[in-house]
Amino acid sequence: MTTPESPETELVTSIANELYAEGPVAAVPAWEPPPLPDLSDPPVSPAAGLPMDATPRFYFLPDPPPPPAPQPPPAGLLDVHAIRQDFPALHQQVNGKPLIWLDNAATTHKPHAVIGALLEFYSRDNSNIHRGAHALAERATDAFETARGKVQRFLGAESPEEIIFTRGTTEGINLVAQTYGRRFVGPGDEIVVTELEHHSNLVPWQMLCEEQGAVLRVAPLDDAGQVVPEEYERLLGPRTRLVALAHVSNVLGTVLPLGPMIAQAHQAGARVLVDGAQGAPHLPVDVRALDADFYVFSGHKLYGPTGIGVLYGKRALLEEMPPWQGGGNMIDTVSFEGNTYKGPPVKFEAGTAHIAGAVGLGAAVDYLNRLGRERIAACEEALTAYGMAALATVPGLRLIGAAPGKVGILTFVLAGRTPQEVGARLDREGIAVRSGHHCAQPALRRYGLTAAVRSSLAFYNTREEIDALVAAVRKAQRGS
Ligand code: PMP
């Protein structure tokens, strides 16, 4: 066990020790708090490290953040063992064994950079935003809006006004269904989805169809887990108003060919929402190159905090959409005769946002950019190929999802053992996987299943961890 070197490290260690009463955490690497900026005159924005306006601003939105300095593309491979030192939660014992976290599709662990950003925000900048007449309100607003700029650049969006902070993917999809959908989808109109969608990208559309008298049409999958292109094309027509597509399947790992699928939908006159919950964490995203109308993702699957997510929408569409929730922040004027509303993104951000969450998400985005998103994708691709090959050596194990170019979501069933039995057996070895329907019952049903085991990889996983998974699956099979 390493000697804690800072009060923050000590705190993390003691919390972890309390939670995991079976024994002390193996090694919580020391964490250096980020240097605190000098808050003396002139005031400095802690988030951007930039001088702030000396004049107090009331009811303000800050100027757009400056464009990032050009960075040379990172070269070489990721050093996974060094990277693991950034993630304190990976260094603990579970059931007497070192934790092997293969439940990354459910949520990812957080690097010190994210934990530190939350700590820093709550320790110093904590304030409500946009409405304050004091220094902390200005700092918190600046930190929040700086995070919006980081997400804008992360997605390749044109302007920060196109980035709406939500609670997560689910809320982003519901927002579009209940604003864009209610206004632009009418009786007899059609919404197209695919058979591999997460329930979050199905149920809101089913509810909308029921409410509006519209029809849901479903593009089927082939045996490998790919959407059948001809069937998808056949479903698009003059009544198609909206197409809702996963970027990456959370059960099969399939990466959808978004470029051509979006272009075809646009040819039919439809708008396209992309559920990027499993895409953004693994693959570089450029919403303008994709020409996606909406793109949603969750912070917690992207190494950021829970309770924060993003809805990207093309500005012209966001302008056309009515507000969603009503309340503070989103209004311009309120009277008993009638209200006026702000423009996007604030129009869709009623009430107090998850301010610290947005700041933490900004830190996660910075962290991923530092590692290099192309390098992350390359590292995960190699790990996925290794994992697929290793699991395939287990007799009686059936892998679900074999689309070329899939990401590291390795779902399987084991002859003679229920997924629950396998999951419990792996947990005894300290290996965290998920067993169940993975909120994608239609996708599993396509392969004759109601449940399966899902191991899902991140760039901080190692080949040794995959070897341990395979060994534990063999034990589960033997019943030992
Ligand atoms: N879509 C996909 C593809 C997902 O994997 C998930 C999370 N499992 C969601 C949507 C929902 O995400 P959240 O629960 O963070 O809103």
Could you read off the pLDDT of 444-461 as tens digits, one per residue?
Answer: 999 999 999 999 999 999
Single-letter code of the amino acid located at 52: M
Q: Is the CB of 275 under 6 A from ligand 1?
A: yes
Strand ranges inside 330-408, DSSP E: 331-333, 340-341, 397-400
Answer whether residue 48 shows pLDDT above 50. Answer: no
| Residue minimizing CA distance to atom 14 of ligand 1 | 170
Catalytic residue status for 439: yes
Query: Ligand 1 mean position to 80 CA, how many Å?
Result: 26
| Residue minimizing CA distance to atom 12 of ligand 1 | 169
Question: Which residue in the list 207, 390, 439, 451 is annotated as catalytic?
Answer: 439
Residues 6+ apart with CB under 8 A from 225: 196, 249, 252, 253, 254, 400, 401, 402, 403, 406
Query: Ligand 1 mean position to 361 CA, how many Å?
Result: 16
Could you read off the pLDDT of 363-403 as tens digits, one per residue?
Answer: 999 999 999 999 999 999 999 999 999 999 999 999 999 99
Spatial distance between the Cα atoms of 223 and 292, rounded to a whole number of angstroms: 27
Could you read off the pLDDT of 60-106 as tens digits, one per residue?
Answer: 344 545 555 545 445 568 999 999 999 999 999 999 999 999 999 99
Q: At CA 55, angle to CA 50 and CA 56, rounded to 5?
A: 95
Give the total residue count for the chain: 480
Strands 309-313 and 163-166: antiparallel
Q: Is the CB of 439 under 6 A from ligand 1?
A: yes
Average pLDDT over residues 132-140: 92
Q: Is the CB of 250 under 6 A from ligand 1?
A: yes
Exposed/middle/buried for residue 415 (C-beta within 10 Å: 0-12, 13-18, 19+): exposed
pLDDT of amino acid 169: 98
Query: Ligand 1 mean position to 351 CA, how many Å?
Result: 23
Answer whether residue 22 shows pLDDT above 50. Answer: no
Strand ranges inside 159-231, DSSP E: 163-166, 190-194, 215-219
Q: Is the CB of 146 under 6 A from ligand 1?
A: no
Could you read off the pLDDT of 152-179 as tens digits, one per residue?
Answer: 999 999 999 999 999 999 999 999 999 9
Count of other CB atoms within 10 angstroms of residue 26: 15
| Residue minimizing CA distance to atom 5 of ligand 1 | 250
Q: What is the dihedral of CA 54, 59, 61, 62, to 10 degrees?
A: 0
pLDDT of amino acid 297: 98
Query: Ligand 1 mean position to 245 CA, how many Å?
Result: 13
- Among 200, 282, 294, 297, which residue has the most ligand 1 atoms within 8 Å of its CB, making it the best to mutate? 200
Which numbered atom of ligand 1 lies nearest the CA of 200?
A: 10
pLDDT-based confidence at residue 16 (cuts at 50, 70, 90): very low
Q: What is the dihedral of CA 466, 471, 476, 480, to 10 degrees?
A: -150
Answer whether residue 54 shows pLDDT above 90. Answer: no
Could you read off the pLDDT of 316-349 as tens digits, one per residue?
Answer: 999 999 999 999 999 999 999 999 999 999 999 9
pLDDT of amino acid 131: 75
pLDDT of amino acid 255: 98
Query: Ligand 1 mean position to 119 CA, how many Å?
Result: 26
